[in-house]
Structure 1
């Protein structure tokens, strides 16, 4: 079952309202995406913690409807 990039973006923005989110489909199959996410909520967090926050925002869709997500996260300067 595929997942639309717009749904990924919406879920992330629901959890991180200030986030700048860019979603790119990698294989055209709705299962493989890359995401760049920038949020003030990431300040002071390790890269692992930032990624955990994004995965939590996806509400269990990782490994189900969403097979692969290459993440790049950052906090604004």
Structure 2
């Protein structure tokens, strides 16, 4: 089973409504995604904590409906 762009984007925008999110289907199969997420929620958090927030947002779909997800996360740059 695969996860469509719309489903993945839905999970991420629900959890990070302020975020700039870029999704790339790395293999063209809806199974291997890269997500680049820029959100204020990541401010002051380590990369591990940022990624844990993303995995929590996916509500248990990692490893099942979503096979692989490469993450790039960061807080927005100060103006």
TM bracket (short chain): over 0.9
Unaligned runs of 5+ in 2: none
Give the deviation of 1:9 after TM superposition: 1.1
Listed as ranges, the gaps of 5+ residues in structure 1 are none
Match of 1:19 in 2: 19
RMSD: 0.7
Name the residue aligned to 2:65.
65
Name the structure 2 match of 1:46.
Answer: 46
* TM-score normalised according to structure 1 size: 0.96
1:41-62: CA deviations, max 9, x gaps? 0000000000000111111110
Quote how far apart the aligned CAs of 1:39 are: 0.2
Q: Report matched runs for 1:24-39 at 5 Å.
A: 24-39=24-39
Q: How many residues align?
A: 77
Structure 1 consecutive aligned stretches of length 4 or more whose deviation exceeds 2 Å: none
1: CA distance, partners of 2:65 / 2:13: 18
